[in-house]
Structure 1
Amino acid sequence: MARQRRLQGQSDTKLDKGTNSSSSNGSNSTNNKSMKTTSLLSYWKQIIGCIVLGIAVSLGYMGYLETRVNTPFDDKKMVVRSGLEVSEQFWGSYRPGLYFGFKTRDPASLVTGLMWYFPKRLRPGGDGIRHWCEQGDGLEKYGWLQHDGHSFGVQQIIDGAHVFDTSFVKRLGGAHGGDWTARISVDLKPNLKDSRTQNEEISLLWYTALDEETKGHISLTNSATKLTGIKGATSGLGEFTIKLTNHSGVVLHESYLSTVAPGLHLLKETVVASLRLAQDKPTAPRRIVLAGELLPEAGIEKAEPNFVAIQLTGKVPFTLDVVFESGSFGTRQDTLVGETYTKALAWHQARFTQRFEDTFGLQKRGYGPKEIGFAQAALSNMVGGIGYFFGTSKVQSFYTKEPVHYWRAPLYTAVPSRSFFPRGFLWDEGFHGFLISTWDLDLELDIISHWFDLMNVEGWIPREQILGVEALAKIPEEFVVQRNTNANPPTFFLTLQYILRKYYDKLSEGRLATLERLYPRLQAWFAWFNTTQKGSVPGSYRWRGRDPLTNRELNPKTLTSGLDDYPRASHPTENEYHIDLYCWIAIAADTLAKLANLLDRDGYKYEQTAEYLKDNVLMDNLHWSNYASRYSDYGYHTDSVKLKRPKPLPRSQNQNLEMIRVTLKNPEYRLVDSTFGYVSLFPFLLQLVDPDSLKLGQILDDLRNPDLIWTKYGLRSLSKNSPLYMKRNTEHDPPYWRGQIWININFLAVRSLHYYANTEGPYREKSEKIYQELRANIINNVMSQYFKTGYLWEQYNDETGEGSGCRPFTGWTALTVMLMGEHY
């Protein structure tokens, strides 16, 4: 008010001046403008401040979103005991990608293993040296015959005319995981004993290596014999020695290599680069030997070796014992070598045989020694194929411009195939869990714990685990990055469902504690699925990860579903939804509800979700085709597509143009009911169809129809009258899930037939009849192909029953053992 009165007084004393006087109007105008300017500046400062704050908050939030993809789930760790805290599991055959090798469950483990070659057959570039399991090696057979997952294993390898019997036995003692001995015996096949390959020379190489993070040292040593040994020390093992003992046969020559290898994935290449021709005496034959000490200079002092290999060349038959002894073991009554080893191995084998019969009861079911030997081998390859990996995945989210590294973590997991897929796969591991938990529940809970420690804060688990340099070396770069929009079937819910049924009254306090820690992670996993994979229609679900822009694929793949090239809607859109994913979510909710009940948790919302999704009315409204009488996906679809090579451009007749998809008829939104196969069966496979439903009767009829998916070897993945049956998806990609027989889905089918055969309803007898037929068909063919080829296979031909895909594939194909023992 004072300012207002002053201005008013000044105006009164100057009334004689003209109203247009610059003196009169200029004074008032200046003050008003000053007030307005100050006010505007203050206003804009506030606006700018808000904008800056908003940008800062937005950038901060975007930064937060960027970090979520590689931020661990914030709760109790699943793995509470590892490494030397579980001494009986510390050492193992945890390098499944090798023919024969060992490491510890230690992030920075010493590794050791076998290479071999026949000098007369060694070719330039090291071709002929065996190390990693390679399909290109063309071995007639390799695989574990017996392996208990803990203490011992027996493996047979057939390389040309020669049979390798490799085995190991562990002995606990001391503070660093105890001792072990490995035995390698090489002989001719029995029918070739008198052939010209008798007494052929063979070179066995046993090596020890440290990775770049292992703190320790290794060096050569000599024992009382002429044979060279290895000694060393690491933070995880303390001091140790490795002694090589010639158990039988004649050692013709011995050489060694002590050097620096550039990585665990290049050990064979390091050996190849060091091979030399040498003579002991002018009159002696020239031999291929290792080069001795090859250490690069590092300043004044030589670098410490991280790779030591010993080569023994002998005449077949030949047997080598490799004895690892821990410095902390204390006083040993005897060394695990020679006859002591032979007796220890025989004891473990007898114990394994009895335990196997107690678990699966195959002898009681009338199986003979040959069939039981097959089943033991299938189980043993599953547990013998368990690996221990450590490293970091590459992941990417919508908010990261480039792939980023996941946190460094271990993974203890079985693998689908030692040759082709020697790493962890999320949906495979759920199937593996059926067999592993039947054999050893605690082993399976340990595996589940490691997998769920890989969950990020969003509740996502990368579907393929490529941890460590050895795993990375076996996969093309384009498959390395995992994207957090992409799911994989949550098969661990099936594993847990099976565990709850089988062991409900046998869960010890420790096992219940594991499930208690698991429960919040399962909740987060379910929530992630239920939000990120939901469809555009209430109650529907859609697999992400399909490429809507590709013109190379006849039908864009759905890798995230686990069924790769199985035909879906021809033109991916956000409005499609998938029946198999619907069923997976229903089973997940149901399993969570049952687990909540066991743990005395509030599982009401999961019970409600399960009831909602298991309601056949909802499922039928979304996915049942009245026209085709089958369950189907829904999407933007046409069957009128084909691959066609474009015409070359003018004057470019030498162009090699890749075939592209041509759409002959416009797609429309519809049920994809012209296709019948595994996806159509999912409501049946996961036991969601009501036992008294007419639709169950229709499914059973279709399942048993030889013109559709029924064969005398098992159920084919796609019916013969489906438009894309056995069609290539690109000119380079042969059919994969378009007709071949897959044992994991056949296992689910047999399991469901058993369920419906033992549940009140009008289709019990029909289910029982088909159950007996299908079970017998699968078992007989898988065994027949094993005896014929030496392998379990990734898939089987629907016309001949022959194994196809990669081999050995003792992942879910080993579920044949569950069928033999009728464990569901």
Structure 2
Amino acid sequence: MAGEQRRRRGGAGARERARGPRKEPREGRGGRGRARAALVAAAAALAAAAALCSAARWGTWGAGARLVSPHPAPRALPPGSTGPGAAPSRFWGTYRPHVYFGMKTRSPRALVTGLMWLQQQEGGGGLRHTCEESDGLGRYGWVMHDGESFGVQEIRDGTVELRTEFLKRPGGEHGGDWSWRVTARTENTTSPPPLLSLFFYAATDGQGTLEPQVENGTRLAVVKGTTEELGHFTLSFLRPTVPDSGDPKHASYHWLDAPSPGLHRLTELVRSSLSPRSVFSAPGRPRRRFFALYPSGGLPGDPPRGQVLLHQVTLEPPAVLEVTFESGSAAPAPEPLAGAAFSAAMARHEAAFRQRFEATFGLAGKGFTVPEQRFAQAALSEVLGGIGYFHGHSLVQAAPGEPAVPGAEAALFTAVPSRSFFPRGFLWDEGFHQLLVSRWDPALSREVLAHWLDLMNAEGWIPREQILGDEARAKVPPEFVLQSSETANPPTLLLALERLLPAAPRPFLQRLFPRLCAWYAWLNRTQAGPEPLSFRWRGRDTEHQRFLNPKTLASGLDDYPRASHPSPQERHLDLRCWMALGARVLAAVAERLGEPVEPFRAAAQALTDNELLEQMHWAPELGAFADYGNHSAAVAMRWQPPAPAAPGQPPAAPQLVREVREAPRLRFVDALGYVSLFPVLLQLLRADSPHLPAVLDAMRSERQLWSPYGLRSLARDSAFYLRRNTQHDPPYWRGSVWLNINYLALRALHGYASTEGPHRERAAQLYRELRHNLITNVYRQHADSGFLWEHYSDSNGRGQGCRPFAGWTALVVLAMAEDY
């Protein structure tokens, strides 16, 4: 990821720059003198807020030390708060979202458990373990998950259907017990039925021991183990049974005890240990060869980091398999949670989940059908089941060209956007995730927010993408691993905090407040724009000739069109609006805590002042709010013929490069889309603003942002609409319908419809239509495909991008509940 080179600036210099405008502001309706006075006062307010926040910047380390040093404020999470003593109900969980089914503890060197499966076919079939789009599964995802004690997942792999269930039971000092049930069925009606192998494993990562207990030399029946965090425990693999009857099921057994090469190489280890030498001999069936585990010497490469034990069961579906984990600290030892006891407990959990879901979201009371309610339950469950626990180091860089260094060792408890494609933490996404999670479980959401703020370095910077540990890094293209400390990300966590604020415990806010101040100060210092009260995303792509429009990854909107020629003169509308939100939330928190509130309140008033906003970002020639910068509207991508090849060398490939047919100049950027809506999306525009009708018109215009499936990200009549950004980069934020921004639009329209003003009825009508379009399409696409998607086509509504993408697409649940 390219980052834009900038000069290093200290806090004092940044505050001086905020006070002194570099050029005359554009004249407002109130006249040049009044506008200038307002700007000076507003800039002073913002500088005062920044100065107050700067008190949170302790220490005088050098630049390199500050980059990798944790922020010195007391941690937002009290010490030990995630351990089994402080939070036993959350110590164990499905905190490995990148695998189809697995559990681990919230500890740095966790014991991990998981499931793999293999349909035994000629040539070996495909071993399933980590969630991969290339596996081509018909569907997979949690249909029920309460984020804590139980979950039910449905998986369809060709003709095989798997139902994975887990239950937790409190007791003892190490997070209690848990049990799994995996039910395998098939639609295949041929005889004999297909063979299916299921692999259950336990692996240590750096510490702990596992001792196998084997029956008849082939069946791994029990694992006795011990780790620092879990003490002694017993993991039991029960014999398979026939569904509904409980009768024994014929199966073949194999097992493996091997050194662990690292959790990220477990799939590779199992593949290397499979051999087609075993024979399945079910009574009354023909003998069939299949792939089974055989002793392996491990994998070449790094020294072993732990131990892995695998239990392979090969059978003909249908079948039920159960696994129980029993903590050695539970006394007296309760009856195993298996068989009828498991079924009864699962029925209670499912009934309680449905009741809690209705009490929380009230969808039945709003008239949604049972299938629609189940869809919403699955959307919420996918977010909760997609919460992971990660531990490790980020790879960070102070500025382009400077050496990369490992950041401080850190842990992160977070939801992930996509189990298959983005199974890691994203700062911009997480605020949207927590809007939903906070409605379901406020305490869980507070814990996630605290984890994120504890990632802050001494400067107040939080890396936008969290790639902690080898398992997370194995899923990331190398060019995205490195995180630049010049790159910001929208502070969407404040959206969730604003929702949590009324009922948030005071000690929680006291722990957060210094870090919130430091974060806001960092944003204000490093992302300040050329004019007072203007802001500019740093880190735009620098190789301008390669892109139709250089990307702005920091904004979260990637290829959304900005000024064609990045320059220090840019003013980014969305960032200004995010800063207004930050000042508003900090003012509210300060008021709750009895901290000095006036500087934050004054900054919020300055950044939401509609006349100042108009002076900076209203483009009369466009009739819309817009970015400002060095921009040319006449750009295109053209094939450039290659240079002649050297003698004896193959000819070079032609290159697609940018052609600028009109010199850029400082002007407003003619790109009507999501950025243009931000004053409305974050409800900064007054209900009586003379510009609100134009924004509402653009939202409802079918040649601009309106589609039958939601608001498109870029107007249809834009020159960038659905245009590729490079030869290899298809359009991303250039027309597709994205649920996170559409949810903000619904929230804003609902707010304007509830506020006295001349456009109240218009906003209410738009709200009803947009809500209907969004819910109808997302539900239909889920019913057709089995997945929530990253974004949706504005022309036919079909899901696009990666899937499953619960992430912010699950905000459809709040839209259904009309919960804003």
TM-score normalized by the length of structure 1: 0.88
- One-letter code aligned to 2:292: V
Aligned counterpart, 1:783: 779
Q: Does structure 1 residue 689 correspond to structure 2 residue 685?
A: yes
Q: State the 1:493 CA deviation.
A: 1.3
State the match for 2:602 in structure 1.
Answer: 608
**Could you say which residue in structure 2 is the equivalent of 1:590?**
584
**Distance (Å, rounded) in 1 between the aligned partners of 2:770 and 2:482:** 39
CA deviation vs aligned residue, 1:492-546 (integer Å, no higher than 9, x gap) = 111112223xxx2x44xxx221111001110111111111000011110000001
CA gap of 1:246–1:281, structure 2 versus 1, over 3 A, is closer
Name stretches of at least 5 consecutive residues in structure 2 with no aligned partner: 1-58, 243-248
Superposition pairs of residues 405-804 of structure 1, within 5 angstroms: 405-500=406-501, 504=502, 506-507=503-504, 511-650=505-644, 654-672=651-669, 674-804=670-800
Q: Is the counterpart of residue 815 in structure 1 residue 782 in structure 2?
A: no
> d(CA) in 1 for partners of 2:122 and 2:173?
44
SS of residue matched to 1:306: strand
Identical aligned residues as a percent: 47
Task: State the 1:176 CA deviation.
Answer: 1.0
* Equivalent residues in 2 for 1:156-167, closer than 5 Å: 156-167=154-165
Aligned residue for 1:312, secondary structure, equals: strand
How far, CA to CA, are the matches of 1:711 and 1:303 in structure 2?
Answer: 55
- Is 1:219–1:258's contact at 8 Å kept on the other side of the alignment? no
Q: TM-score, normalised by structure 2?
A: 0.88
* 3-state SS of paired residue (1:774): helix
Do the aligned partners of 1:219 and 1:305 also contact (CA within 8 Å) in 2?
no
Look up the match of 1:220. 212
Which amino acid letter does the alignment assign opposite residue 493 of structure 2?
F
> Equivalent residue for 2:264?
265
The alignment covers a number of residue pairs equal to 743
Distance 1:303 1:682, change over 3 A: closer
Shift of 1:228: 2.5
TM-fit CA distance, 1:247: 4.2
- Counterparts of 1:470 and 1:178, CA distance in 2: 26
* Residue from 223, 231, 243 that aligns with 2:236: 243
Aligned partners of 1:294, 1:651: CA distance in 2, in Å?
A: 49
Q: Structure 2 vs 1, CA of residues 197 and 492 (structure 1 numbering), >3 Å: closer, same or farther? A: farther
Distance 1:668 1:228, change over 3 A: same
Partners of 1:709 and 1:716 within 8 A in 2: yes
CA distance in 1, matches of 2:551, 2:530: 20
Amino acid corresponding to residue 65 of structure 1 in structure 2: A
Deviations 1:235-276 (A, max 9, x none): 111111111113413232100111112111110110111112
- In structure 2, the partner of 1:83 is 83
What is the CA distance between 1:227 and its match in structure 2?
Answer: 5.2
Q: Distance between the aligned counterparts of 2:304 and 2:453, measured in 1?
A: 40
SS at match of 2:163: strand
CA change 1:380–1:303 in 2 (3 A) is closer
Alignment-derived partner of residue 3 in structure 2? none
State how far apart, in whole Å, the 1-side matches of 2:140 and 2:287 are: 35
- Does the CA contact (< 8 Å) of 2:673 and 2:712 recur in 1? yes
Amino acid at match of 1:260: P
Deviation, 1:556, is: 0.2
Equivalent-residue separation in structure 2 for 1:799 and 1:304 (angstroms): 51
Alignment of 1:195-344 (within 5 A): 195-196=189-190, 199-211=193-205, 213=206, 215-222=207-214, 228-249=221-242, 250-279=249-278, 285-292=288-295, 294=297, 306-344=307-345
Q: Which moved more, 1:419-428 or 1:62-71?
A: 62-71
**What SS does the aligned partner of 1:645 have?**
strand
Asked if 1:71 corresponds to 2:65, the answer is no
1:119 aligns with: 120
Aligned to 1:30: none
What CA distance in whole angstroms lies between the structure 2 residues aligned with 1:490 and 1:226?
A: 52
Q: Which has the higher contact order (CA 8 A, sep 6+)?
A: 2
Secondary structure of 1:380's aligned partner: helix
Q: Aligned-pair distance for 1:630?
A: 0.2
* Structure 1 counterpart of 2:352: 351
Contact 2:252 2:280 in 1 (8 A): no
Residue of structure 1 in register with 2:25 after alignment: none
**CA-to-partner distance for each residue in 1:204-252, whole Å, 9 max, x for gaps?**
00011112x3x21112114799652222111111111111113413232
Equivalent position of 2:153 in the other structure: 155
Measure how far apart 1:63 and its partner are: 7.3
Normalized per residue, the structure richer in helix is 1
Deviation readout 1:325-351 (Å, 9 max, x if unpaired): 111112234110011001111110000
Q: Does 1:178 align with 2:176?
A: yes
8 Å Cα contact 1:704/1:710 also seen in 2: yes
Q: Is the 8 A contact 1:295 1:304 kept in 2?
A: no
CA distance, structure 1, for counterparts of residue 691 and residue 191 of structure 2? 63
Q: Aligned-pair RMSD on alpha carbons?
A: 2.0
Q: Secondary structure at the match of 1:711?
A: coil
The alpha-carbon deviation at position 698 of structure 1 amounts to 1.1
Shift of 1:198: 6.3
Secondary structure in 1 aligned to 2:546?
Answer: coil
Give the equivalent residue in structure 1 for 2:186: 188
Check whether the contact 1:65–1:399 (CA below 8 A) recurs between aligned residues. Answer: no
**Contact 1:217–1:304 (Cα < 8 Å) also in 2:** no
Q: Which amino acid aligns with 2:268?
A: E
Where 2:762 maps in the other structure, the secondary structure is helix
The question of whether the paired residues in 2 share the 8 Å contact of 1:82 and 1:105 is answered with: yes
Change in CA separation of 1:788 and 1:289 when aligned onto 2, cut-off 3 Å: same
After superposition, the Cα gap between the structure-2 partners of 1:582 and 1:116, relative to the gap in structure 1 and judged at 3 Å, is same
- Per the alignment, do residues 385 and 197 of structure 1 end up closer, same or farther by CA in structure 2, a change over 3 Å counting? farther
Contact residue 66 and residue 399 of structure 1 kept, 8 A: no
Q: Quick one: structure 1 residues 279 and 108, their matched pair in 2 at CA, closer, same or farther if it must change by over 3 Å?
A: closer
Shift of 1:592: 0.6
User: Which amino acid counterpart does residue 598 of structure 2 have in structure 1?
Assistant: Y
CA offsets 1:592-642 (integer angstroms, 9 cap, x no match): 101111112111100000011100111100100111110000000001111
Say whether residues 1:138 and 2:136 are aligned partners.
yes
Report the residue type matching 1:356 in the other structure: F
Q: Secondary structure at the match of 1:597?
A: helix
Separation (CA, whole Å) in 2 of partners of 1:280 and 1:684: 66
SS at 1:73's partner residue? coil
User: Which amino acid is the alignment partner of residue 426 of structure 1?
Assistant: L
Deviation track 1:547-598 (CA, whole Å, cap 9, x = no partner) reads: 3443111100000000000000000001111000000000100111011111
Q: CA deviation at 1:398?
A: 3.4
Question: Which whole-Å CA distance do the structure 2 matches of 1:514 and 1:384 have between them?
Answer: 25
Tell me the amino acid that sits aligned with residue 655 of structure 2: E
Residue aligned with 1:390, SS:
strand
Larger radius of gyration: 1
- 8 Å contact kept, 1:202–1:314: yes
Task: For 1:220, give the aligned amino acid.
Answer: P
Residue 13 of structure 1 aligns with which residue? Answer: none
- For residues 410 and 298 of structure 2, the distance between their equivalents in structure 1, rounded to whole angstroms, comes to 32
CA offset digits 1:706-728 (Å, max 9, x no partner): 11010110000000111110000
Gaps of 5+ in 1: 1-60
Question: Does the CA contact (< 8 Å) of 1:233 and 1:239 recur in 2?
Answer: yes
Supply the AA of the counterpart residue of 1:188: T
Counterpart of 1:143 in 2: which secondary structure? Answer: strand
**Could you give the per-residue CA deviations for residues 303-336 of structure 1, whole angstroms, max 9, x where no partner exists?**
9960111100011101100111111112234110
